[in-house]
Amino acid sequence: MLPAHPIDIDDELAMATSPEQTNGRPPLIEALEVSKYYGGVTALDKVNFSCRPGSIHALIGENGAGKSTLIKILTGVVTPDSGTLKVDGQPASLTSPVDAGQLGIVPVFQELSLLPDLTVAENIFITNPPRNRLGLIDRKAINRQTHQLFDSFGFHHLDPEALITELPLAQRQMVEIATALSRQPRLLILDEGTSALTLRDVKLVFQVLEKMRNENRSVVFISHRMDEIEEIADTITIFRDGRHVGVFPAGTVSHDDMVHMMIGRKLEQVFPDKPTHKMEETPLLAVKDLGWEHLLHDINFSLNQGEILGLGGLDGQGQGELLFALFGVLRNLRGEILIDGQPTKIKSPAAASEAGIGLALIPEDRKTEGLLLPMSVGNNITMSTLDRWARLGILNNRQEKAAIQRMVEQLKIKTASTRIPVGSLSGGNQQKVVIAKWLLTEARILLLYDLTRGIDVGTKQEVYQLMRSLADQGVGILFFSTELPELVGMCDRVLVLYEGKISRELKSDDITEENLVAAALGLKITNVAQAEAQ
């Protein structure tokens, strides 16, 4: 039974101090009173966490709550400042990832670790490749063994001989997971490992995780997708502000109470209200018969001033190519792009962001396409607008710092300093830095590529409010999302793509999850219920 009333803080702490049920067996891994500090910032404050054998344990919380810090401690990447780690009930010293790997603890971090210029198979066997009689690397054996590995996981759509750099983000993520699984871990840690995956890929990964559970192996699963957690997890632990505030069996606490525990406040409404008045049709952007190679065909639509126009459909149906085409990334386009009614040739991303055009693209993979991780938070925010703060080649540091601080305050970016590397921030705050960079350009047209992937529910709400506020100021937003509730809750219209074409346009009350799914599958029906009745 779900609790009938919100959980208060005393209830949370009571649940947090209750040990996980292990049926008399010690947990596979356990952290006791673990703390970690970075300068004056407390990343973890006397945290307790355990995962039993044969369990899938979800770890959830806002970005910056301490989840990734705990994972780095459990995998030997960083050492705790205080507290104890135990593996199989025995004290363990994990001073490096090698120590963790020897104990069967294998992570998949948010940041991909693949070498882009090597093949899929070469990445999987990079630490221990099969060799021939002469001691040379046997490439045929690498490809053959990778095929066998993928067959055992059901990852049949992955090509062992493909270069990593040629793969879409979802397939790169699958290769990262396959690499970890190839080590036969006793404990697999997935830190937002499914955030970039398609629905089909998530299903394949879950089948492998369930097999691990049946083999008495364990998984620590970090995700911001509550539907995934409900489907796969046995136990849920919640972190907030570097502390654990709850641990309970999955399905025993309501969504509202979990959100309250994660963010410390009640989330009244996820999505802001849509405009109730009829929107004036003042096209900022129009596309006529747009095509590119075999991936885009006869695309026609317009984006109005102050409109949030969604792009729906299954991932990989041309949505990404459409955004890249509009932003000047792709060459040899067919058809026309019009800005303010005038045919416009957008030859490069730099040209797209010029004042007369005013386009900005927030990409799918913030870490490789949106940010320079070793650079500071501040430098990332102003990298696209440096010419505004310079005169005769000399940078006006005072004006630049003022712009950075304005963006940090407006977007509530949590950072100890704007001078620290942006790579040290949580995923949600990194995404805010990408948004800040493009907001400074004062773009009139925003192209958003799966904007909220891998960020927590509280940050998502802030992003949704920002999107609607920008639209109210006249900005046109073209918004691709793989999450159906976002399209339903945020968009004034939705274009559903199927095999590189717009299969359907949905407006107002027609924007439902059922209609989005039906259109994504190419079904010419009003909703899924009708299909089931036939």
**Alpha-carbon torsion, ordered 431, 451, 296, 491, to 10 deg:** -150
The tokens for 503 are: 């299969």
The tokens for 361 are: 């693209």
Q: In the 3-class helix/strand/coil scheme, how is 372-438 assigned residue by residue?
A: CCCCEHHHHHHCCCHHHHEECCEECHHHHHHHHHHHHHHHCCCCCCCCCEHHHCCHHHHHHHHHHHH
**Mean of the pLDDT values across residues 261-275?**
75
Residues with Cβ within 8 Å of residue 64, at least 6 apart in sequence: 414, 425, 426, 428, 429
Residues in the chain: 534
Query: Above 60 in pLDDT, residue 327?
Result: yes
DSSP 289-329: EEEETTTEEEEEEEEETT-EEEEESSTTSSHHHHHHHHTT-
Query: Above 70 in pLDDT, residue 209?
Result: yes
Q: What is the pLDDT of residues 225-241, one digit of tens each?
A: 888 899 999 999 999 88
Distance (Å, whole) CA 56 – CA 132? 39
Q: How far apart are the first and last CA of the chain?
A: 36
In the structure, what pLDDT confidence band is assigned to residue 202 with cuts at 50, 70 and 90?
very high
Query: Above 60 in pLDDT, residue 5?
Result: no
The tokens for 350 are: 């730099």
183 versus 7: which is more confidently predicted? 183
The tokens for 523 are: 């079904």
Query: Above 80 in pLDDT, residue 530?
Result: no
Q: What is the pLDDT of residues 15-66, one digit of tens each?
A: 443 444 445 689 999 999 999 997 767 889 999 999 999 999 999 987 778 8
**Three-state DSSP class for residue 41:** strand
304 versus 451: which is more confidently predicted? 304
Amino acid at site 526 = T
Q: What is the pLDDT of residues 477-487, one digit of tens each?
A: 999 998 888 99
In the structure, what pLDDT confidence band is assigned to residue 332 with cuts at 50, 70 and 90?
very high
DSSP alpha helix (H) spans, 134-216: 139-153, 169-181, 199-214
Q: What is the pLDDT of residues 430-446, one digit of tens each?
A: 889 999 999 999 999 99
Q: What is the pLDDT of residues 344-354, one digit of tens each?
A: 999 999 899 88
Name, of 265-269, 302-306, 413-417, the range with top average pLDDT. Answer: 302-306
In the structure, what pLDDT confidence band is assigned to residue 11 with cuts at 50, 70 and 90?
very low
Is 283 exposed, middle or buried, given 0-12, 13-18 or 19+ CB atoms closer than 10 A? middle
**Mean of the pLDDT values across residues 465-470?**
94
Predicted pLDDT at 433:
94
Predicted pLDDT at 255:
79
In the structure, what pLDDT confidence band is assigned to residue 133 with cuts at 50, 70 and 90?
confident
Query: Above 90 in pLDDT, residue 297?
Result: yes
Provide the 10 A C-beta neighbour count for residue 169.
21
Predicted pLDDT at 528:
41
61 versus 149: which is more confidently predicted? 149
Provide the 10 A C-beta neighbour count for residue 117.
9
Predicted pLDDT at 192:
85
Q: What is the mean pLDDT of the chain?
A: 87
Pairing of strands 308-312, 476-480: parallel
Q: What is the CA radius of gyration of the chain?
A: 24
Distance (Å, whole) CA 89 – CA 334? 64
Predicted pLDDT at 71:
93
Distance (Å, whole) CA 455 – CA 478? 20
Residue 424 CA neighbour count, 13 Å, CB half = 16
Q: What is the pLDDT of residues 368-417, one digit of tens each?
A: 788 988 999 999 999 988 888 888 778 889 999 999 999 999 998 989 89
Predicted pLDDT at 23:
56
In the structure, what pLDDT confidence band is assigned to residue 201 with cuts at 50, 70 and 90?
very high
Angle between helices 199-214 and 169-181 (to 10 degrees): 10
Query: How much of the chain exceeds pLDDT 90, in percent?
Result: 60
